[in-house]
Structure 1
Amino acid sequence: MSQSFTPADVASHNSAEKGLYIIVDNNVYDVTNFIDEHPGGAKILKRVAGKDASKQFWKYHNESVLKKYSPKLKIGEVKEAAKL
C-alpha cells in the first residue's frame, strides 16, 4: 500500500541515519539502500535527499529507469497539505 507524504515528511529524510527519500514527479522513493548501486554514485543521491529531484532525474534518465526501479524503491506519493 502506498503512503502519503508531505514535502516536510520527505525533507526530514535527508541523511543515512534518517533514511534518504527523494521525490520524482510527486512520487516518493526510498533510496537509502540503493546508494551503493546507483551508477552515478552515492554523492548525487545524498545531495538531493529530502528534496524534489525531478529536474535532476529527468536530465540524466528516461522513463525506463523509473519502470525498472519503481517497484523496489517507490514508497508513496506527495500529498500537499490542504489549502485553506
Structure 2
Amino acid sequence: MSNLFTTAEVASHKDAAAGMYIIVDDGVYNITDFADEHPGGAKILKRVAGKDATKQFWKYHNDNVLKKYGAKLKIGTVKESVKL
C-alpha cells in the first residue's frame, strides 16, 4: 500500500459526508462504513474521526482486532510523525 496521508488530510475526514478516517500508530484507516458495525457503537468512532486514535484504540483493543479488521479498513500511512 503506497497511499501516504498528512495528518491535515486525515483531519479533513471527520464526518460521514467526507468519509471518516482515523490514525492508529502510523496507519490510516477508513472507518466510514465500519462505524455502524463497531461493537462499541458509532458514536465512539465519530468522536475520534479525523484524529490520531492510537491511545484510545490500544486502551480498549489488542493486536487481534487489527489482524481481523485492519486489512479491510487500512487505506494508507501517515507521512510525518504524529505527535498528539
In which range does the TM-score fall when normalised by the shorter chain? over 0.9
**Long gaps (5+) in structure 2:** none
Shift >6 Å, 4+ stretches: none
**Long gaps (5+) in structure 1:** none
Q: What percent of counterpart residues are identical? A: 73
Give the TM-score of the pair, scaled to structure 1.
0.93
Residue-by-residue CA offset, 1:14-47 (whole Å, 9 max, x unaligned): 0110000000001000000001100000001000
Give the TM-score of the pair, scaled to structure 2.
0.93
Letter of the 1:79 counterpart: K
How many pairs align?
Answer: 81
Aligned CA RMSD, in angstroms, stands at 1.1
Q: Whose Rg is larger?
A: 1
Alignment match, 1:28 = 28
